Structure 1
Amino acid sequence: MLQAVPKKYLRNKTEWKYYVTWEMEDDYRNTLRNRQTSLGDAAQTSAQGLYYKGIALEYVPQMPAGYAMLAPANNLVYGLYRDITIEKDRVPKLRKTDFVNSLRTDCHFEDENAVAVASGYVGS
């Protein structure tokens, strides 16, 4: 993914993150553990953040299995349409109230060239 991003966007690597699944982060920790160094020990025994070539890894629970993304955080944008409705549905016999929220949202990239997405990871 790092090779796929145009180098003009990588001026400040501290702004970038690898957004990964739990399996990817765990496999990377195990790979570092196999190095038998203080970095390997720290990766296995601490909750410190991991880095690959100076870019932080961030676990994203909602990331689909096998996918990863490399992007600067300020390149990820979202929007909410302001016409939000909340409907109440009360069922007294069941002592239950359901609330239905209706809204429109969207998310995208500020600059589509400053992101790389990979798929097909099946583990090590």
Structure 2
Amino acid sequence: MLRRWLLAAVLLTLGVILAMTSGWPFLIVFALLALVASPLLFPRSIPAAEAQRRSAADGRAIVYWRPGCPFCVRLRATLGLRSRRAHWVDIWRDPEGAAAVRAVADGNETVPTVILAGTPHVNPDPRWLRSAL
């Protein structure tokens, strides 16, 4: 669980150190970066089995992600409120989700990996996914 927050904690600590030496604007900038790197901005993750069950029932996409991944942050930011139209699986929390990603990404845990209409897309273009959702 700690590694989910490691990047955010490092950024916040760096911001505090820089704020003490160079001024408070650094704290604000690094606090915002820590927020973006944290799991807080992502929709609530569910287990892979539950996401697959829900996706089969409602046809929504499944997005496999992990905290601290800049490509996941970019995808989430591009999707905006449309991110709620997908089921999100944190592969660091769910070993079954990590295995699903490895199965479609040549044994690597490359995220974001999106399953849309049964077809896997490894690190898709966020604008494409936004239009597909």
Q: What's the TM-score once normalised by structure 1's chain length?
A: 0.26
Larger radius of gyration: 1
Higher relative contact order (CA 8 A, sep 6+): 1
Q: Which has the higher helix share?
A: 2
Q: Which has the higher strand share?
A: 1
Q: What's the TM-score once normalised by structure 2's chain length?
A: 0.25
